[in-house]
Amino acid sequence: MKLNLKIWRQQNADTKGKLVDYKVDINPEMSFLEMLDVLNEDLARQGQDPVAFDHDCREGICGACSLHINGRPHGPMQTTTCQLHMRHFKDGETIVIEPWRAAAFPVVKDLVVNRAAFDRINQAGGFISINTGSARDANETPIPKEMADEAFNAAACIGCGACVAACKNASAMLFVGAKITHLALLPQGQAERKRRAEKMIAQMDAEGFGACTNTGACSAECPKGISMSTIAQLNRDFVFASLTSKPEAQVSEGAV
């Protein structure tokens, strides 16, 4: 199977990039990342600089393989790039491969972008700091199945950034909505629920992500199928927090 590749090459965030043409001859049963491995082996043999791309687990669970393929995050299938196989392309086809396009995701090199903005959003309020003591029996705190399922579905977000890449405004609302929702629906997340929503959204804005216009492109391209209902949950929590939260100074003085 022979393919024509147009791959974005960029030395670092401070240099200009461009699409460079390559040709590969590969097995159609290879994954997309294995195809790039073959290309890099060829480039290395020729003494050329291999194409830098991000990957880790190659099992569809880490979210590292963030590639924009023929104008779509992760390519033509609603899955991660590592789980995309070359049999979904045609012999002789031209494939355009680019990094995520978002100001909050600066290019590190070639197809690798810095997604540390997501980490900072999580750090701003995405963890539970309340001391709940030792582990309790699983059935001690009853949680309705419907609520547990919804929280689990939101927690499936792998933070790949496809939602940002798919959005015309580079919004991170689906990612933040998923992180807020899976904690907001569970008892453990209630103590810091309002403060979490305020801090995570404030950090999202500070990182430079765009606003949500509810086109649904984020959910449609999400490899884990995160629902836009998480954005609705985010908005509800943020509005409630804005209307009822006390100023930080009062909280620090012990006001309740």
Domain boundaries, the chain: 2-41+48-109, 115-129+140-252
What pLDDT shows up at residue 252?
36
- The SS3 of residue 134 is coil
**Phi/psi of residue 113, nearest 5 degrees:** -120, 155
Say what the pLDDT of residue 256 is. Answer: 32
CA distance 50 to 138: 49
Cβ neighbors of 196 (< 8 A, separation 6 or more) are 125, 126, 180, 183, 184, 189, 237
Handedness of CA 95, 167, 53, 59 (dihedral sign): negative
pLDDT at residue 6 above 70?
Answer: yes
How confident is the model over 161-180, as pLDDT tens digits?
A: 999 999 999 999 999 999 99
CA distance 236 to 14: 39
Task: Give the model confidence (pLDDT) of 201-230 as tens digits.
Answer: 999 999 999 999 999 999 999 999 999 999
61/80 Cα distance (integer angstroms) = 8
CA 242 to chain centre: 26
Write out the two tokens for 44. Answer: 């290395």
Q: Is the pLDDT of residue 33 over 60?
A: yes
CATH topology of domain 115-129+140-252: Fumarate Reductase Iron-sulfur Protein; Chain B, domain 2 (1.10.1060)
Cα–Cα distance, 75 to 113 (Å, whole number) = 17
The pLDDT of residue 254: 37
Q: Band of the pLDDT at 247, cuts 50, 70, 90?
A: low
CATH topology of domain 2-41+48-109: Ubiquitin-like (UB roll) (3.10.20)
DSSP state letter for 25: E
Which residues share a beta bridge with 85? 31
Q: What percent of the chain has pLDDT over 90?
A: 83
